[in-house]
């Protein structure tokens, strides 16, 4: 049966199970807003043409799975980079993000991560990258959005 799902969950452990799952056909409003490839920060070229004058979204890997309207609410009109501050080797991330921001006349940076402690590494990486920039040359508006483990927007704020 297409589109029928029987979901069961345990709110104490935040686990959700799916007993019957068949993909449904995407409607026009559910089309992907992804406009470039690759998206993983390790793989994104620092001088990719699509980054020039872009609004960049830096999202933790889990966010698009937790937040159901990720494409419509966050990705539309932006170029995305993703990473996991807990599982990735993030040692090159600060310098790579700094280079992306410095070399491409980036118009804005939006950080989206989960409310769990490890995800705050997205903010740490971005703040460290920005601290390494020559402040007189680069002024980028930065917005932060924190998503709850229930998949809702928990916090939205401007960082600078």
- Provide the residue ranges of all domains of the chain, joining segments of one domain with +: 31-158
pLDDT of residue 2: 40
**Mean pLDDT over residues 136-148, rounded?**
87
pLDDT of residue 44: 96
pLDDT of residue 3: 44
Q: Residues 87, 79, 51, 57: what is their CA dihedral angle, to the nearest 10 degrees? A: -60
Confidence of residue 17 (pLDDT cuts 50, 70, 90): low
Rounded mean pLDDT of the chain?
85
In sequence order, which residues have a C-beta less than 8 Å from that of residue 23 and are 6 or more positions away?
Answer: 2
Contact 154, 147 (CB under 8 A): yes
**Mean pLDDT over residues 66-72, rounded?**
94
Give the sign of the dihedral formed by CA 18, CA 23, CA 24, CA 27.
positive
- DSSP state, 44? S
Helix 121-131 / helix 93-103 crossing angle, nearest 10 deg: 50
Angle at 54 between CA 48 and CA 58, to 5 degrees: 85
Concatenate the DSSP letters of all residues of 81-99 into one string.
EEE-TTTS--TTHHHHHHH
Rounded Cα–Cα distance for residues 80 and 122 (Å): 13
């Amino acid at each position: 049966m297409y589109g029928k799902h029987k979901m069961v969950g345990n709110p104490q452990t935040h686990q959700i199970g799916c007993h019957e799952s068949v993909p449904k056909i995407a409607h026009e409003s559910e089309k992907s807003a992804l406009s470039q490839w690759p998206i993983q920060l390790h793989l994104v070229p620092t001088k990719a043409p699509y980054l020039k004058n872009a609004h960049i979204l830096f999202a933790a890997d889990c966010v698009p799975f937790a937040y159901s309207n990720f494409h419509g609410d966050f990705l539309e009109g932006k170029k995305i980079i993703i990473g996991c501050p807990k599982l990735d080797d993030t040692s090159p991330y600060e310098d790579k993000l700094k280079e992306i921001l410095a070399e491409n006349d980036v118009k804005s940076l939006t950080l989206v991560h989960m409310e769990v402690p490890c995800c705050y590494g997205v903010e740490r990486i971005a703040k460290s990258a920005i601290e390494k920039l020559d402040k007189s040359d680069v002024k980028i508006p930065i917005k932060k959005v924190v998503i709850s483990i229930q998949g809702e927007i928990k916090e939205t704020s401007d960082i600078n």
